[in-house]
Amino acid sequence: MTIGMSHKPLFVIVGSGPGVSAGIAKKFGSHGFRVVLVSRTQSTLERNLEDLRQAHIESYGITADVLVYNAAHIAPGDPLSLTEQQLIEDFKVNTVGALTSAQQVIPDMVERKQGTLFFTGGGIALTPNPLYTSLSIGKAGIRSLALSMAETLAPYGIYVGQVLIADHVQQGTYYDPDRIADVYWKLYNEKNPAEYLFKE
Tell me what pLDDT residue 6 has. Answer: 65
pLDDT at 40 over 90: no
One-letter identity of residue 161: G
Q: What is the CATH number of the domain that holds 171?
A: 3.40.50.720
* In a domain? residue 180: yes
Same domain, 20 and 75: no
Same domain, 78 and 37: no
Report the SS3 class of residue 119: strand
Same domain, 116 and 177: yes
* In a domain? residue 4: no
Same domain, 85 and 150: yes
Q: Where are the alpha helices (DSSP H) in 113-176?
A: 133-153
* In a domain? residue 22: yes
Q: How many CB atoms lie within 10 A of CB 85?
A: 8
Mean residue pLDDT of the chain comes to 91
How big is the chain, counted in residues? Answer: 200
- Give the chain's domain count: 2
As to burial, measured by CB atoms within 10 angstroms (0-12 exposed, 13-18 middle, 19+ buried), residue 18 is exposed
pLDDT tens, position by position, 83-133: 999 999 999 999 999 999 999 889 889 999 999 999 999 999 999 999 999
Same domain, 188 and 94: yes
* In a domain? residue 3: no
Structure pTM? 0.81
* In a domain? residue 131: yes
- Please tell me the distance from the alpha carbon of residue 150 to that of residue 117, in angstroms, as a whole number: 9
Same domain, 58 and 73: no
Same domain, 111 and 186: yes
pLDDT tens, position by position, 157-190: 999 999 999 999 999 999 999 999 999 999 999 9
* In a domain? residue 5: no
Which structural domain range is residue 86 located in? Answer: 66-198
C-alpha torsion angle, residues 118, 127, 135, 99 (rounded to 10): 30
Same domain, 139 and 97: yes
Contact criterion met (CB below 8 Å) for 186 and 144: no
Phi, psi (rounded to 5 degrees) for 195: -140, 130
pLDDT tens, position by position, 47-78: 889 999 999 999 998 877 898 899 899 999 99
* In a domain? residue 2: no
Same domain, 105 and 46: no
The gap between the terminal CA atoms of the chain, to the nearest Å, is 38
| Domain endpoint, select from 62, 81, 97 | 62
* In a domain? residue 48: yes
Same domain, 43 and 70: no
Tell me what pLDDT residue 122 has. Answer: 96
